[in-house]
Amino acid sequence: MEIFEIIEALILALTALFLIHLFRIYTYLNEFPTPSFTPIIGHVFDYSNPSTLETITKNVIKCGGIMRQYLGPQHPFLVVADKDFLEFTCKNNRYISKGSHYNYIKPWLGEGLVTSNGEKWKQRRRALSTKFSQTSLLQNFLDIFNQKSDILLSVLDKYHNKDVNLQPIMKRFTFDIICETAMGICLNQQSQTTNTEYAASVETLCDIYYNRMSSYLMRYDFFYQRSDEIVREKKALAVIDDILEKILNLKSEVKKSSGENDATTNDFLDLLLNVEIDGKRLNKDDIREEVNTFILAGYDTSSTALSLILYKIAEHPDIQKKLLEEQKEVLKEDFKKLHVSFENLHKMPYLDMVIKETLRMHAIIPMSGRRLEKDGLKYDNINLPSTVNFSIFMHGFHHNPEYFPEPEKFRPERFSSNEKIDKFTYMPFGVKPRQCLGKNFAMLELKSAISKILRTYQLINISEHQLDLKPKLLLYSATGICIKIRKRSKNITKKQEASVNLSTSY
């Protein structure tokens, strides 16, 4: 009988402790409103339903731009889509680090620009910004963009007058670009029917980390270390590390043979080998971190952005017509030449507007996590405790009618020079001081590819195809990103022309 009494007392004690725990977490940060939720489970269903982005956007706007969110019986985090709070975080940036979920990708990225904090981040950012912003480097990269987009057109030619899912094609295209600009290696992924071992390993790691961030159980090391995913992660990391080690050794040998003072920069890896911080060159671990960061940041993001921009152009024939007219006006006698000069790519304001409006409607990184590291900071007379996590909800900012009237309408003109866009409400590349270092790289890559594609193909909307956009770490469409493409008449071969309905206007 005594055993049962002990068990009963133990159950009552644990229940009492659990109820106290629930009371503490449900009164934590209670100065901020929260939508209705299921006890213990919290808002988990809001993040797993088919309309996650719409649900969270609706809730955060209803809560005034900042709301508490619970994922299971643990302390809440804040979802932020409020301009004033964002300005507050930028003003106090020295007390704010990256969110704790970025720790999941540290086995791959180490303490690179995306994951590092404090003085290390500041020094690394300062050194890389100076090097990476050089116009000559971007001009060198444009040659690579042109080479890879020539191959892209040959791939797209196979889909003349057919429906095509852009996602896998653009992934291979941007992967070829990022590997050659990052490491100087040519994988020719676009010309292959299967992924190379390196490409497959990058894809595997992206999949593992995205899934881990969206899984309640896998967030805990106890469960993750006992899952099959840890085996897949180690295998993929071994492949990537081995290839990068070989490339680094080759680069070092070349550098020795050409002289230690040789500062030739053909790719991002060359740039890193020439970087000095406090008079010291980066070591191999430092270089590994930044190369892997560059690949992750520029691979899936660019392919998804490019696919969505082409989709929006196909969806709006009137906008496509205006874009084509701009191409003719800017390029003139060079219109038929596929390659566009660096100077001409900066003379396409309407293309700029279309890209920016697409990235507003579809924020490629819907959320970016942050963590407060200092007690005593006040926002709107509210004391913010240290270690509180909050997510900057880009999609929520971009779809708030207070910041962007009629947010569900695709209106590129809102980014014309006549309309002022607040930097604290529009952030497709993040917000300073942690704005994406590759912003100019990405814009040049997108514009050079879109210019070629526009002048070569008519992009046609498939009325029955609907995007099913979902957030993980990045935005993705569960139904693919599909359009129909048709070569413009000047490029159509006689054989193709016979099978095309020539009544279609080009």
Q: Which residues are annotated as a binding site for heme?
A: 436
- The DSSP string of 192-210 is -SS--HHHHHHHHHHHHHH
Rounded distance between C-alpha atoms, residue 105 and residue 36, angstroms: 32
Rounded distance between C-alpha atoms, residue 125 and residue 432, angstroms: 12
Q: What distances in angstroms separate CA 473 from CA 81, 163, 206, 288, one per listed residue?
A: 17, 28, 9, 22
Sequence-ordered strand ranges (E) for 228-344? 276-277, 280-281
Side chain identity at residue 203, one-letter code: E
Rounded distance between C-alpha atoms, residue 153 and residue 451, angstroms: 12
Rounded distance between C-alpha atoms, residue 370 and residue 102, angstroms: 9
* Residue ranges of the binding site: 436
Find out whether 26 and 69 touch, Cβ atoms under 8 Å.
Answer: no
Find out whether 112 and 123 touch, Cβ atoms under 8 Å.
Answer: no
Give the bridge partners for 477, in sequence order: 469
Lookup: tokens for 130: 């100076």
Rounded distance between C-alpha atoms, residue 206 and residue 210, angstroms: 6
Q: Evaluate the CA torsion angle 430, 433, 439, 440 in order and state its sign.
A: positive
Find out whether 152 and 168 touch, Cβ atoms under 8 Å.
Answer: no
Find out whether 356 and 428 touch, Cβ atoms under 8 Å.
Answer: yes
Rounded distance between C-alpha atoms, residue 506 and residue 503, angstroms: 9
Find out whether 112 and 423 touch, Cβ atoms under 8 Å.
Answer: no
Please state whether beta strands 280-281 and 382-384 pair in parallel, antiparallel, or not at all (unpaired).
Answer: unpaired
Find out whether 402 and 133 touch, Cβ atoms under 8 Å.
Answer: no
Give the bridge partners for 66, in sequence order: 80
Find out whether 395 and 471 touch, Cβ atoms under 8 Å.
Answer: yes
Q: What distances in angstroms separate CA 299 from CA 34, 77, 110, 470, 473, one per listed residue?
A: 35, 29, 18, 18, 13
Rounded distance between C-alpha atoms, residue 503 and residue 347, angstroms: 33
Lookup: tokens for 296: 């992750």
